[in-house]
Amino acid sequence: MSRELRIAYMTGEYLRISPFVFIHREVTALRQAGIHVETISVRGISEEECVSTQQREEQKTTHMLLPCSPWRLAAAHGRLKFSSPRRYLRAFALAMKTRTPGRKGFFYQLAYFLEAGLVADLVRRHGLTHLHNHLGDSSCTVAMLAAELGGFTFSFTLHGPGIFFEPYRWRLDAKLARAAFVCCISHFCRSQAMLWTAPERWNRLHVVHCGVEPESYTQRQHEGAGKELLFIGRLTAAKGIPILLESMDLLHKSHPGVHLVLAGDGPDRDWVVSRAAELGLRDCVEVTGFLSPDSVKERLLQADVFVMASFAEGVPAVLMEAMASGLPVVATRIAGIPELVEDGVSGFLVPPGDASSLADRMRTLLDNPDLRNRMGAAGRAKIEREFDTRQEVAKIAALLRMTQSG
């Protein structure tokens, strides 16, 4: 009889709504599969970001690394150093070897090493045997160092696109070389990882989608002319919000009753509100702020078309949620999005930065309820076929069990 698999799941800000929704789905599915999972977050979140009951419940059992008292930090590192001085020195050497040059790089890496000591100590005290981290940047550095400090294996889910802009800074090569396995959220993501991995290790790079639970979303039925467009995400320029507002300006001229909901918050919120007013769109652009998962589902049921004008993405979970809800989508043809959205089948793909094409495709969908229904049904089928959380988590569970048995 095989022993219980006990693992840790970590990321920088686990409880922040954007990563929490899809990572919590994975954690829940893994627990349902009989795997013991302890969740770790480097940092907590503000009260205003804690918008759901699930977040508040998970917060009670999630281990927060920061803030941390000097005594707790010293005790954790003391236990690690006493139990295996050589391993401790090897881990510190690895930290220095993989830091970025300069004084700033040294102090950042020292901070990651100290955090790694907290993680390694926690993993060992809870009898865990493996650490899985989401994202490949700072929290993955902590995970790599923690695994070396604690003498256990680690893996990570590689998302992009940010990590691919700074692979040298985050020493993606070292992480890929040392991880037991890597979950890549798309074939595009895997191809980028292959650039930084020796060919003999490509078999450790696995395409595992971040999925949704299709049955938890009600499929929208479309009738008549559409009026409501929906975007969900952070309000930043990288999400193409300026282009989306330009396209609304074009669309509003032929469809004066159109309404755009921007569900989310972010550093550019004030600019977005100001720019919408400048374009005369004050009454047809609504900014909601952070929404709970239940509120997101309500907005999806009210919308006619989901839009995303991003310049850089992985494979957005919000697109999966929209498609599971029977919404046709208009998104930019970038990175892994074409692996999710089939142009002309479940939605339309447009060139990034092209407000005219975006407006034209939104206009086509708003004017044609039959097309919205056909594309919505095709999108739902795609999610059920390839992006169901349970079938994707089954892949992770198999990889974890293989790592333990190996």
Q: Are residues 263 and 118 in the same domain?
A: no
Eight-state DSSP code of residue 388: B
Q: Are residues 330 and 393 in the same domain?
A: no
Angle (CA) 218 222 226, round 5°: 120
**Residue 327 to residues 102, 178, 233, 264, 377, Cα–Cα distance (Å):** 49, 41, 16, 19, 8
Q: Are residues 279 and 347 in the same domain?
A: yes
Strands 259-263 and 228-232: parallel
Q: Are residues 207 and 226 in the same domain?
A: no
Q: Would you state the pLDDT for residue 390?
A: 93
Q: Would you state the pLDDT for residue 2?
A: 52
Q: What backbone phi and psi angles, to 5 degrees, belong to 229? A: -105, 145
Cross-strand pairs, 331: 308, 349
Instruction: Return the residue matching tokens 């079938």.
Output: 391
Range of weakest confidence among 24-33, 173-182, 322-331: 24-33
Q: Strand, helix or coil at 267?
A: coil
- Report the pLDDT averaged over residues 342-353: 97
250: burial class by Cβ within 10 Å (0-12, 13-18, 19+)? Answer: middle
pLDDT band, very low/low/confident/very high, at 222 (cuts 50, 70, 90): very high
Is the CB of residue 129 less than 8 Å from the CB of residue 150? no
Q: Look up the domain containing 121 and give its range.
A: 6-211+388-405
Give a yes or no: residue 153 inside a domain: yes
Instruction: Classify 135 in phi/psi space as left (phi over 0), alpha (psi -120 to 50) or beta.
Output: left
pLDDT band, very low/low/confident/very high, at 406 (cuts 50, 70, 90): low
Q: Are residues 59 and 32 in the same domain?
A: yes
Distance between CA atoms of residues 254 and 290, nearest Å: 30
Q: Are residues 200 and 264 in the same domain?
A: no
- Report the pLDDT averaged over residues 4-33: 89
Q: Are residues 137 and 241 in the same domain?
A: no
Q: Are residues 258 and 141 in the same domain?
A: no
* Percentage above 70 pLDDT, the chain: 99
Distance between CA atoms of residues 29 and 23, nearest Å: 10
**Residue 340 to residues 41, 155, 229, 383, Cα–Cα distance (Å):** 29, 24, 20, 8
pLDDT band, very low/low/confident/very high, at 1 (cuts 50, 70, 90): very low
Give the closest residue to 160 by CA, choosing from 320, 336, 331: 336
Q: What is the pTM of this model?
A: 0.92
Q: Are residues 223 and 352 in the same domain?
A: yes
Q: Are residues 55 and 183 in the same domain?
A: yes
**CATH number of the domain within which 264 lies:** 3.40.50.2000
Give a yes or no: residue 1 inside a domain: no
Q: Are residues 64 and 132 in the same domain?
A: yes
| Half-sphere exposure (Cβ direction) of 264: Cα atoms closer than 13 Å | 20
Query: In the predicted model, is pLDDT for residue 87 greater than 90?
Result: yes
Q: Are residues 44 and 167 in the same domain?
A: yes
Q: Would you state the pLDDT for residue 292?
A: 82
Q: What is the pLDDT of residues 130-164, one digit of tens each?
A: 999 999 999 999 999 999 999 999 999 999 888 99
Please provide the distance, in angstroms rounded to a whole number, between the alpha carbons at the two ends of the chain. Answer: 16
